[in-house]
Structure 1
Amino acid sequence: MSFLKKLFGGGSDAKAPAGDKVLGEESYKDFLIKAIEMRAGSEYQLAGIIEKDIAGERKTYRYIRADRMSSVDDVVALAFSKGRQIIDEQGNSLFS
């Protein structure tokens, strides 16, 4: 089961690989949104991490979308926007 969890991104148990390059960070409603670099050829694919400390433990949620952009600034802005949308829709249940 843990193999499938790793393969398909296990939500709150998914750990960010140590090699992720963070393009920007934003605090939003006690969450931390990080836009991470995900290259798709010469473009950047929308990817991010949402983190929050709950009961002294750092919880992490990773999201990847199909959107691709040629501008780093555009993909960072969209990653923050998507992160805020996920938080507004799911709140702390994101980590359940």
Structure 2
Amino acid sequence: MAWLSKLFGGKEAASTAASETYKDFTIAPQPQKDSSGWRIAALIEKDGKTHSLIRADVLNDQDAAIAASVSKAKQVIDEQGDRIFD
């Protein structure tokens, strides 16, 4: 059924990138395959609450996109803390 997603423009997430804990938040990098590379994206979780982070930034390399996704998620956590879930 993955071909249907590709046919209708669905975005693919990175296969299995390791989650990491930062200041009691869990960051799961989920860069999305884009026509020009990998879009920075991550899932941020804490105490059963989740926030989906998707950036406009696109990188050519999947590993670089995973690292950038974690970095951007940490930046958002530092700036907003628990307000990210509001």
TM-score (norm 2): 0.77
- Partner Cα separation in structure 2 for residue 75 and residue 30 of structure 1: 23
Residue in 1 that maps onto 2:44: 50
- The runs of 5 or more residues in structure 2 that have no matched partner are 1-11
Residue in 2 that maps onto 1:7: none
Residues 55-75 of structure 1, C-alpha deviation per residue, up to 9 Å, x if partnerless? xxx100001111111211100
Residue in 2 that maps onto 1:65: 55
Letter in 1 for 2:79: E
- Partner Cα separation in structure 2 for residue 94 and residue 22 of structure 1: 24
Q: CA RMSD in A?
A: 1.7
What SS class does the counterpart of residue 23 from structure 1 fall into?
A: coil
Letter in 2 for 1:66: A
Per-residue deviation at 1:42? 5.0
- Partner Cα separation in structure 2 for residue 22 and residue 52 of structure 1: 20
Residues 29-73 of structure 1, C-alpha deviation per residue, up to 9 Å, x if partnerless? 0000111131112511111110001xxxx1000011111112111
- Partner Cα separation in structure 2 for residue 71 and residue 25 of structure 1: 19
- Partner Cα separation in structure 2 for residue 29 and residue 51 of structure 1: 11
Residue in 2 that maps onto 1:89: 79
Residue in 2 that maps onto 1:26: 20
What SS class does the counterpart of residue 19 from structure 2 fall into?
A: strand
| CA distance 1:63–1:83, shift in 2 (3 Å) | same
Runs of 4+ in 1 over 3 A off after TM superposition: 19-22
Among all aligned residue pairs of Structure 1 and Structure 2, give the percentage whose two residues are the same amino acid: 39
Count of residues in Structure 1 that have an aligned counterpart in Structure 2: 74
Letter in 2 for 1:76: I
